[in-house]
Amino acid sequence: MSGARIAIPRGAAPWIWLLPALLLLLPGFVAPILLVARNSLNIDDPMGGMVAALTFANYADILTDLFYARIFANSLLLSAGCALACLVICYPVAYHMALRASAPARILFWLVYTPLLVSVMVRIFGWIILISDTGLMNSLLTGSGIIAQPLRWLYDTEGTVIGLVHRYLPLMMLPLYTAMRKIDGAVVRASTSLGASEWDTFRRVVLPLSIPGCVAGAQLVFAGAISDFVLPNLLGGTSLRLLAPTVLSEAVTEVNLARSATLATLMLAGVAVVLVATQQAVARWCRWAANV
């Protein structure tokens, strides 16, 4: 080693590696979120724009208004329902691929990553073709005489649910599959060789050990679904008002920026509470999960 070198103080090395990330995330991520929280304390000027203030008036308005209470309830229930639906739909596939199928990795890649990476607009357009009143599903059902009237799924809650489940299935699949891959095959074989039936082995070995994956996947689906406004706006109807589309329309259409900031802050707090609470629940009631 030769030549003059800039002396790097001890302990600074990690921060030098972190510098680009901090230069991006502090102004581009932390600052905008703090600004949303700050602006939620402003007042909307009916003539346009915001008046700087430090008041909880927006929170008081929103939290006492039944209109918004219903929106929060709708979004919480719908997102939780989507998380549960994704879990139920994915579970057998993850189980099959992680513990039984012979060549799972390649199939998993095509099944999970590819849909995750196909534009959501393409998928929405596909669902419109499939479930519209005159779409493929309804023409098959009415054409074969199973139903007389077409099912009105598009531009209603069914459309939103189908779109959300389809969009977020891969986010459930990844942690679920990872958790099941970690299950030691020897434990499963031991259970079977000690005389447990296949069902008992599943119920007492595989199911408990997969719970961390279930929770991690459900968290991702929940957080994704509750903040999604694209699918409700394009596949859903007006009968079910949801939180994320309301944040967008208050900000962009109504130009109630402070109110929009308040709704966004409440959404953020709600998501954080649900994520932390489910994490705590796993840590408390699934002690075995720590060893998986």
Partner 1 sequence: MSERDRTQRLLQLYTAVFAGFLVMPVAVATLLSVSSEANLNFPPAGLSLRWYAAALSAPWFLEGVLRSLALAAASTLLAVVAGTGAALALNHYRFRGRAVISALMLMPLTLPAVVLGLGLLFLFGRLGLPLGFGPALVGHAVAGVPFVTYLVLSALSGYDLSLDKASASLGASPARTFVSITLPIIAPGIAAGAAFAFLMSFDNVSLSVFVTRGDTLPLRMMQQIQFYADPTVAAVSTIVVAISGLILWLAGRALRPKARASG
Does the protein bind partner 1 through residue 196 (CB under 8 A)?
A: no
Q: At closest approach, how far in Å is the CB of 70 from partner 1?
A: 19
Shorter beta-carbon distance to partner 1: residue 136 or 288? 136
Q: Which residues contact 224 (CB under 8 A, 6 or more apart)?
A: 167, 168, 171
Does the protein bind partner 1 through residue 286 (CB under 8 A)?
A: no
Binding residues with partner 1: total (CB under 8 A) = 82
- List the one residue out of 49, 40, 32, 39 whose CA is nearest residue 255: 49
Sign of the CA dihedral running 61, 67, 73, 79 = negative
Q: At closest approach, how far in Å is the CB of 124 from partner 1?
A: 6
Q: At closest approach, how far in Å is the CB of 28 from partner 1?
A: 4
Does the protein bind partner 1 through residue 271 (CB under 8 A)?
A: yes
Shorter beta-carbon distance to partner 1: residue 21 or 147? 21
Residues 233-262 that bind partner 1 (CB under 8 A): 234, 244, 247-248, 251-252, 257, 260-261
CA-CA distance, 230 to 49, in Å (whole number)?
Answer: 26
Residue linked to tokens 């309804």:
138
Does the protein bind partner 1 through residue 282 (CB under 8 A)?
A: no
Question: Applying CB under 8 A, which part among 64-72, 181-189, 203-211, 267-275 lies near partner 1?
Answer: 267-275
Does the protein bind partner 1 through residue 206 (CB under 8 A)?
A: no
Does the protein bind partner 1 through residue 33 (CB under 8 A)?
A: yes
H or E element that contains 43: strand 43-44
Does the protein bind partner 1 through residue 97 (CB under 8 A)?
A: yes
Lookup: tokens for 149: 């009237």
Residue 62 identity (one-letter amino acid): I
One character per residue 209-238, x = contact with partner 1 (rule: CB under 8 A):
----------xx--x--xxxxx---x----
- Give the CA radius of gyration of the chain: 24
Residues 153-182 that bind partner 1 (CB under 8 A): 166, 169
Sign of the CA dihedral running 260, 273, 22, 171 = negative
- List the one residue out of 260, 241, 263, 238 whose CA is nearest residue 250: 260
Shorter beta-carbon distance to partner 1: residue 21 or 207? 21
C-alpha dist (Å) from residue 103 to 34, 99, 184: 47, 11, 18
Q: At closest approach, how far in Å is the CB of 66 from partner 1?
A: 23
CA-CA distance, 138 to 141, in Å (whole number)?
Answer: 5
Residues 100-139 that bind partner 1 (CB under 8 A): 100-101, 111, 113-115, 117-130, 132, 134-136, 139
Q: At closest approach, how far in Å is the CB of 190 from partner 1?
A: 17
3-state secondary structure of 110: helix
One character per residue 39-78, x = contact with partner 1 (rule: CB under 8 A):
x---------------------------------------
Does the protein bind partner 1 through residue 28 (CB under 8 A)?
A: yes
3-state helix, strand, coil in the chain (%, to 5): 75, 0, 25
